[in-house]
Structure 1
Amino acid sequence: MKNESVSIASLGVATPPYAVKQSEAETFLRNHYSKVLEPKSMSKMVKIFAHPSVLNRYIAVKDLECLVNEDPDSRIARFTEWAVELSSQAINNALVQAGITTGDITGLVVNTCTGYICPGISTYLLEKLGFSNNIRIHDLVGSGCGGSIPNLQICRDIIQGKRDEIVVSVSIEICSATFQMADDLSLIVSNALFADGASAAVLWSRPGVLRLVASASRCDTKYREDIRYIYRNGQLHNQLSLKLSAFASKTVARVVNDLLTPSGLKREDIKHWAFHPGGEKVINAVRDKLGIPEIKLQMTRDILAGYGNMSSPTVLFVLREILSKGVAPGDWCLIVAFGAGLSAHGFLMKAEG
């Protein structure tokens, strides 16, 4: 679906202040969970945490000890507090960049997959930031790491054909609120990758930074059990297949083709690529499947190294990094993210002057 009238005006991000190096995270897990890990699992954990693809992450805790034996009530309270705080920071950042205030906003769409509260996060943001209580608000759940792009799709649809609409798209994940540890490779990998963060984009129907040209989505439900959260004893546990990189890259490639073919574009026409950095193996598989030059993936790898995988906001951290390095008017940009389902989503964008 094409739409040449809606643009991203600005993009803001936020992370918690507590930074964790991989060596610190490994020491924490070793100190508290060595008795639950078999020697083979411990050996794999050491190897995974030593990999240079992730160097630093930001976690919404005072210190890592807070994660030990955190009860469900404390966990959802921490999720709520930090989800609202980080979202607010990202929104304020984006509003300042766009030169507008909360009074200009007519809609707010928030997505998350790492915690559930009712009423949703949007209502807390309405109150905290002083948005009008009659703006249109939506809370989205269940899209996993790919959730920011369906969010943008909905924001675009709200604005389409309505000149005065200005909508804020917020992606917020407190992945540490789903922390679990057991003798399970999915959990070991998750604890080496995931982190916390928020992104906020202001969208409007006037020239901006990036014009939203076309979007595409695919959902391969046969892989549902390979990438998802599952409930055990009433708490979320991340479930990741060791074969994720192979089938995720195929679905991503189909979404890319769905975007480029109708637009008459080729892969070499895309100046800037922003992929969800789901991990080193996934990035490599996407690169090889699409035949993208390694240099085009540098921003994706930089975000993974400096922030880890923050789930849904992460691809917009990559996009923000691309914008910070400079984008020329007329440059084509393509962002793609994938997540639970298995679902993959993409947006074709064009830089504006």
Structure 2
Amino acid sequence: MNQYNSPSDIAILGMGTALPAHPVAQSDIAELIASSLQDRPALARFAKRIFKSCGVETRYTVEPSYLGSLEECRYLPSGERSDIPTTEERMNTYKREALPLGIEAAEKALEDSGVSPKSITHIITVSCTGQYLPGLDVMLIRHLGLSARVNRLPLIFQGCAAGLKAIQMARDVVQGAPGSQVLVVCVELCTIHFQPVQDREALFAASFFGDAASSCVVGTPEPQHKNYLSLGTGYSVLLPDSTEDMTWEVGNLGYDLYLSPRIPKLLGVHLQEELRLLLQSEQRPELWAIHPGGRGIVDSVQNVMKLRDEQTKYSRDVLRTYGNLSSNTILFVLNAMREDMKLQDQSSTDGVAMAFGPGLTAELMKFTYVPSLSSVMEEHDHVLF
């Protein structure tokens, strides 16, 4: 038993995820993009190769135009087109599509946790793919029936690391104000920012992002809570010499994303020391919830930490089935891990969660899967006596 595994833990009490109605095969998107590059055959061949090798098989989108022909897709036009969606149009799509997904994920998390909407004291909303006011937090409060006095904490434009950052913020809120119940809701509509491909760098960004929402409730476990994730210590760190390796800026035709091919190598160089700092002298945990920002990132963490294939399967499965879901992805990984642990009737098991975003930022956190509060108390008594 580690030092933070005690009956007074702060934990993720429930989780929920939601996907748009439109699944798209990775091979279909690759063909769509290749068709838009008929006048640039070398880039078209590169696109097919990148899309095939990035570890994604299926993605989900709120935008049905990706399901049709090239002539019907304004996001990836061929030739000279003047009707590419503007940033304003894309934000209107976000405003229309984000709320229903956020509501679905949040309702699932509340039900899973057994926490009443009226008991929620804080709501943390996370997104880097859209903004408007009154924002997603206000709309969720009204549609979910939360108190009008709930403390609102919007966490915007923080990239893929923001989901785990929100979880750590929620833990700190409960630690500082015992009795608090924090609802975290992440919504990312990455596919509304697809743009005409101009170079190879743009293809990396287009090759693995998808749309989704996720949610969790963070609070103090009660006897009725089962299969929860106890939240341990963690922190955020800026990795050196990497400021320009991941950027996300507002442009006239949506948000412009740049991902450097150096990112997996940078993580490989710096993560081992950071994880040593996080774990101190503790035994290396069994569970590893790695944000699958791409296949290369999972490969890098696995190689550096000498992990077994089964320890990275949750991250790889999420990447393959849904793609990179930005801030949502870590909650998808944690939820899949928890469900598998529940199915296998596992005892309390320690883990590490990590996510990465612009900065480069690494969010790192220890956690423990706990089958029930009574099992924790039994372990605690066993240690004492």
What TM-score, normalized to structure 1?
Answer: 0.92
Asked if 1:330 corresponds to 2:332, the answer is no
Q: CA deviation at 1:126?
A: 1.3
Provide the residue aligned with 2:27 in structure 1. 23
Describe how 1:189-200 pairs up with structure 2 within 5 A: 189-200=204-215
Provide the residue aligned with 1:222 in structure 2. 241
The aligned amino acid for 2:266 is F
Asked if 1:257 corresponds to 2:276, the answer is yes
Provide the residue aligned with 2:375 in structure 1. none
Secondary structure at 1:54 match in 2: coil
Higher alpha-carbon deviation: 151-160 or 67-76:
67-76
Q: Please tell me whether the aligned partners of residues 85 and 253 of structure 2 are also in contact (alpha carbons under 8 angstroms).
A: no
Q: CA deviation at 1:33?
A: 4.1
Q: Please tell me whether the aligned partners of residues 122 and 183 of structure 2 are also in contact (alpha carbons under 8 angstroms).
A: yes
Q: Please tell me whether the aligned partners of residues 86 and 253 of structure 2 are also in contact (alpha carbons under 8 angstroms).
A: no
Q: Please tell me whether the aligned partners of residues 267 and 297 of structure 2 are also in contact (alpha carbons under 8 angstroms).
A: yes
Provide the residue aligned with 2:283 in structure 1. 266
Q: CA deviation at 1:248?
A: 2.4
Task: Write out per-residue CA displacement over residues 68-87 of structure 1, whole angstroms, 9 at most, x where no aligned residue.
Answer: 52232221011122221111
Which residue, 105, 130, 140 being the options, matches 1:115? 130
Q: Take 1:119 and 1:252, find their aligned partners in 2: how far apart are those partners?
A: 39
Provide the residue aligned with 2:259 in structure 1. 240
The aligned amino acid for 1:266 is Q
Q: CA deviation at 1:292?
A: 1.2
The aligned amino acid for 2:268 is S
Task: Write out per-residue CA displacement over residues 287-330 of structure 1, whole angstroms, 9 at most, x where no aligned residue.
Answer: 11111112211111111000000111111111111111115332
Higher alpha-carbon deviation: 127-136 or 115-124:
115-124
Query: How has the CA–CA distance of structure 1 residues 222 and 120 changed in structure 2, closer, same or farther, with 3 Å as cutoff?
Result: farther
Higher alpha-carbon deviation: 270-279 or 121-130:
121-130
Asked if 1:34 corresponds to 2:10, the answer is no
Secondary structure at 2:36 match in 1: helix
Query: How has the CA–CA distance of structure 1 residues 237 and 21 changed in structure 2, closer, same or farther, with 3 Å as cutoff?
Result: same
Q: CA deviation at 1:251?
A: 3.7
Q: Please tell me whether the aligned partners of residues 125 and 136 of structure 2 are also in contact (alpha carbons under 8 angstroms).
A: yes
Asked if 1:159 corresponds to 2:174, the answer is yes
Q: Please tell me whether the aligned partners of residues 217 and 255 of structure 1 are also in contact (alpha carbons under 8 angstroms).
A: no
Q: CA deviation at 1:97?
A: 0.9
Task: Write out per-residue CA displacement over residues 161-217 of structure 1, whole angstroms, 9 at most, x where no aligned residue.
Answer: 534311111222111122123222222122110001111010112245111111121
Q: Please tell me whether the aligned partners of residues 142 and 340 of structure 1 are also in contact (alpha carbons under 8 angstroms).
A: no
Indicate the RMSD between aligned Cα atoms, in angstroms: 2.0
Query: How has the CA–CA distance of structure 1 residues 251 and 83 changed in structure 2, closer, same or farther, with 3 Å as cutoff?
Result: farther
Higher alpha-carbon deviation: 102-111 or 213-222:
213-222
Q: Take 1:273 and 1:230, find their aligned partners in 2: how far apart are those partners?
A: 31
Asked if 1:67 corresponds to 2:75, the answer is yes
Asked if 1:127 corresponds to 2:145, the answer is no
Q: Take 1:333 and 1:350, find their aligned partners in 2: how far apart are those partners?
A: 6
What TM-score, normalized to structure 2?
Answer: 0.85
Describe how 1:247-326 pairs up with structure 2 within 5 A: 247-261=266-280, 264-267=281-284, 270-326=285-341
Secondary structure at 1:312 match in 2: helix
Q: Please tell me whether the aligned partners of residues 251 and 344 of structure 1 are also in contact (alpha carbons under 8 angstroms).
A: no
Query: How has the CA–CA distance of structure 1 residues 340 and 52 changed in structure 2, closer, same or farther, with 3 Å as cutoff?
Result: closer
Q: Please tell me whether the aligned partners of residues 5 and 205 of structure 1 are also in contact (alpha carbons under 8 angstroms).
A: yes
Secondary structure at 1:157 match in 2: helix
Query: How has the CA–CA distance of structure 1 residues 66 and 323 changed in structure 2, closer, same or farther, with 3 Å as cutoff?
Result: farther
Secondary structure at 1:326 match in 2: helix
* Identity score, percent: 26
Task: Write out per-residue CA displacement over residues 43-96 of structure 1, whole angstroms, 9 at most, x where no aligned residue.
Answer: 211111222711000011123136352232221011122221111111001111
Describe how 1:141-160 pairs up with structure 2 within 5 A: 141-160=156-175
Q: Take 1:128 and 1:254, find their aligned partners in 2: how far apart are those partners?
A: 44
Higher alpha-carbon deviation: 197-206 or 246-255:
246-255
Secondary structure at 1:200 match in 2: strand
Task: Write out per-residue CA displacement over residues 72-131 of structure 1, whole angstroms, 9 at most, x where no aligned residue.
Answer: 222101112222111111100111111233112111001111122233311111122221
Query: How has the CA–CA distance of structure 1 residues 343 and 161 changed in structure 2, closer, same or farther, with 3 Å as cutoff?
Result: closer
Q: Please tell me whether the aligned partners of residues 218 and 251 of structure 1 are also in contact (alpha carbons under 8 angstroms).
A: no
Task: Write out per-residue CA displacement over residues 143-165 of structure 1, whole angstroms, 9 at most, x where no aligned residue.
Answer: 21111111112111211153431
Corresponding residue pairs, total: 347
Provide the residue aligned with 2:383 in structure 1. none
Q: Take 2:178 and 2:220, find their aligned partners in 1: how far apart are those partners?
A: 6
Q: Take 2:116 and 2:185, find their aligned partners in 1: how far apart are those partners?
A: 16
Q: Take 1:215 and 1:339, find their aligned partners in 2: how far apart are those partners?
A: 16
Provide the residue aligned with 1:342 in structure 2. 360
Query: How has the CA–CA distance of structure 1 residues 28 and 234 changed in structure 2, closer, same or farther, with 3 Å as cutoff?
Result: closer
The aligned amino acid for 1:172 is V
Query: How has the CA–CA distance of structure 1 residues 27 and 201 changed in structure 2, closer, same or farther, with 3 Å as cutoff?
Result: same
